[in-house]
Amino acid sequence: MGGGQYETLEPGDYGPRVTKLQKNLRTLGYFNQNPTVVYDDLTRDAVARFQRAYGLPVTGVADRNTLFAIEEVLKLPLEGCSPNGGNVCLGERSERVRSIQRRLLQWGFFRGNADGFYDQYTRDAVIQFQRYHRLPATGIVDYQTWQTLGLNDDNRGNVPKNNYVSLFPFVVMIPWSGYGGLSPMLN
């Protein structure tokens, strides 16, 4: 760890190091704003979310350990995530993310804006959706999750025209032997 790169940043600070912090947090899905030069409440909250997620003391202050952890996480490949392979994951900005967000909104898993940016709120909604449908809860939209969302293969994600989710897409036949095969109410 070297010199000024890991000097503590806190609310009220300003400058290019704050901008870099905000950009890094945005890349990781913790800061969903345009980066500025000011360490404001939004930056503090984003730092606190990162700290909580990575088991660091939650202070909202970007201390030496937090800044180092952010740099290290940025170096890691997103496990199981490959946009070239068709997966959709944290940090992506695209129409297919917007389609996913719209579908999750429609089904009540997502409460944000369908802005096309795969942030931590979108990831959390995807995880809830995956758990509900008993899929591996990775937060990554792979082929199985894409299909379960009911999105089509051309990545446009046509949303159905109703708000109903069919949990049982089949008909159950029940044999009936009483009353000559018909219910008395149907006679």
Q: Which of 45, 56, 3 is nearest to 21 (CA)?
A: 45
pTM over 0.75: no
Q: What is the mean pLDDT of residues 154-178?
A: 42
pLDDT of residue 30: 83
63 & 119 share domain: no
Sequence letter at residue 117:
F
pLDDT of residue 6: 82
Q: Give the CATH number, domain containing residue 144.
A: 1.10.101.10
Distance CA(100)–CA(141), nearest Å, equals 9
Q: For residues 151 and 100, is the Cβ–Cβ distance under 8 A?
A: yes
Domain count, the chain: 2
Q: What band does 82 get if pLDDT is binned at 50, 70 and 90?
A: low
Domain that holds residue 121: 83-148
Q: What is the mean pLDDT of residues 104-128?
A: 88
pLDDT of residue 71: 86
88 & 63 share domain: no
pLDDT of residue 161: 33
Domain-located, residue 154: no
pLDDT of residue 80: 59
Flag the least confident range among 38-42, 72-76, 96-100: 72-76
What percentage of the chain reaches a pLDDT higher than 70? 73
- Cβ neighbours of 34 (radius 10 Å): 8
Distance CA(13)–CA(67), nearest Å, equals 15
117 & 88 share domain: yes
Domain-located, residue 159: no
Q: For residues 119 and 90, is the Cβ–Cβ distance under 8 A?
A: yes
103 & 125 share domain: yes
Q: Kindly list the distances between the CA atom of residue 184 and the CA atoms of 3, 35, 99, 164, in Å, as whole numbers in the listed order.
A: 86, 70, 49, 32
Among 75, 94, 123, the domain boundary falls at 75
